Structure 1
Amino acid sequence: MVGVLCEGQTEENMVNDFLGPELAAYGICLVPTILTTRVAAGGPAGKGGVSKWAKIEKDLHRLLASTHWAAVTTLLDYYGLPVDSPGMSDRPTGSAADKVTHVERCLAERVSHPRFLPHVVLHETETWVFAAAEQLGDWADDLSLARELKRQADQAGGAENVNDGPETAPSKRILKLYPRYVKTQDGPVAVMELGLTALRAACPHFDAWVVKLLGLAPQR
């Protein structure tokens, strides 16, 4: 089993509805856990969204302390990642992929555990929805939506290059074009329809993560 520390409900749904079933075919069982963000006095812990690295690190160490995981990985968005996360303050110049790879390497060094496989999504899981533009257009019954999402992804040089500005992040762009978009439902549905093979081809950083996960598959 592989524990997946997820940023929120959307990421959990992506694991349960899309990644989990796809990788189960290879003998890999993904089990999502949403970040714990707060604990109210006498009440349950809050789930999803995080502002400080310490909260992420605490949940990671809690998961890694359980020896039944073959590995623990993350499904965290680069857009909005806490600014105090390892590697964020000294990101190199260059492409977004270079920057996020640097952050992942720093996360691995900070946690320093042999079963930890950090993954930070470029730039958020809605990036994957840009790759599934045609599928979202079919779901919304709006071919012009599909065409515009594909145009923007092509203009950026690929879905993973759609940038992370407050008004131009993937989710903000989709909501502007499709105000009825429901992150926790519509995104996972579109990506499921696209499928793992096509998403890996469209998103190289995502593909590199999948390669690492597939390396955990039992030998047959």
Structure 2
Amino acid sequence: MITVGVLCEGQTEENMVREFLYPELLQLGIVLVPTILLTRTAAGGPTGRGGVSKWSKIEKDLQNRLRSSPHWAAVTTLIDYYGLPQDSPGMADRPSAAARQKAEHVEKRMAEHIGNPRFIPYLVLHETEAWVFAAAEQLAYWTDDPALAQKVRSMAAAAGGPEEVNEKPETAPSKRLLKLHPEYIKTFHGPAAVTDLGLAGLRAACPHFSAWIGKLTALADE
């Protein structure tokens, strides 16, 4: 077994790791250890968990995990490309290209900035709710809303695929799901639907996600 630390943006991402990715990758000899990004540590007050406000906070958490867990094979991220701080490496000089190429550019710059071969950056296009667009039938089951499946499939197809459901505030994946089904619960319905879809199904629908999983599974072969 090899261990990979996963720095998650918030509770939704942590749930995706614990409920979906952990059991899938465990079968391949990889143990995922999710932790939520620390956003603040106020004197005499609680430590904030979740959310991203500026790059320095992400970098601090990453460096702490890399330094404090030398026995981990790698440290990766599960952070939304949508809403990533504008001061993050690579954001200012993103190419005029498709969303995946932009995200890959930022991931490359993040890796160069951290400068540790055990760091494997991953930015979700555009947030983990995009994965739910690949699990339309499963979402309809968990929400008890049969008509929802066709609506979700049509929306994903119109965008060019689940990972292309875009990053604008009014059209982000989570906003669209809430509009389609106001009772949608991010921390429950999303992980449940994606878990039922399975790793192979999600990889087939989401190439950027699939490339990340390929990097993680390759660690078991080293």
Amino acid in the other structure paired with 2:208: H
Amino acid in the other structure paired with 1:29: V
Matched, 1:176 2:175: no
Amino acid in the other structure paired with 1:57: E
Corresponding residue for residue 165 of structure 2:
162
1:132-168 superposed Cα distances (whole Å, 9 cap, x missing partner): 1110011111121111110010011110001111000
Corresponding residue for residue 124 of structure 1:
127
How do 1:1-220 and structure 2 match up within 5 A?
1-65=3-67, 66-217=69-220
Instruction: Determine if contact 1:34/1:47 at 8 Å carries over to the other structure.
Output: yes
Query: How many angstroms does 1:44 deviate by?
Result: 2.9
Q: What is the aligned residue count?
A: 219
Query: How many angstroms does 1:40 deviate by?
Result: 2.2
- After TM superposition, the runs of 4+ consecutive aligned structure 1 residues lying more than 4 A away are none
Instruction: Please give the root-mean-square deviation of Cα atoms over the aligned residues, in Å.
Output: 0.9
TM-score, structure 2 as length reference? 0.97
Query: How many angstroms does 1:218 deviate by?
Result: 5.1
Query: How many angstroms does 1:216 deviate by?
Result: 1.0
What are the ranges of 5 or more consecutive residues in structure 2 without an aligned counterpart?
none
- The 1-side partners of 2:18 and 2:157 are apart by 29
Instruction: Determine if contact 1:132/1:190 at 8 Å carries over to the other structure.
Output: yes
Query: How many angstroms does 1:43 deviate by?
Result: 2.8
- The 1-side partners of 2:210 and 2:97 are apart by 20
What are the ranges of 5 or more consecutive residues in structure 1 without an aligned counterpart?
none
TM-score, structure 1 as length reference? 0.98
- The 2-side partners of 1:57 and 1:187 are apart by 28
Q: Secondary structure of the residue that 2:13 maps to in structure 1?
A: helix
Amino acid in the other structure paired with 1:178: H
- The 1-side partners of 2:52 and 2:156 are apart by 27
Percent identical among aligned pairs is: 66
Amino acid in the other structure paired with 2:153: K
Instruction: Determine if contact 1:27/1:218 at 8 Å carries over to the other structure.
Output: no
- The 1-side partners of 2:101 and 2:74 are apart by 24
Query: How many angstroms does 1:2 deviate by?
Result: 0.3
Amino acid in the other structure paired with 2:140: G
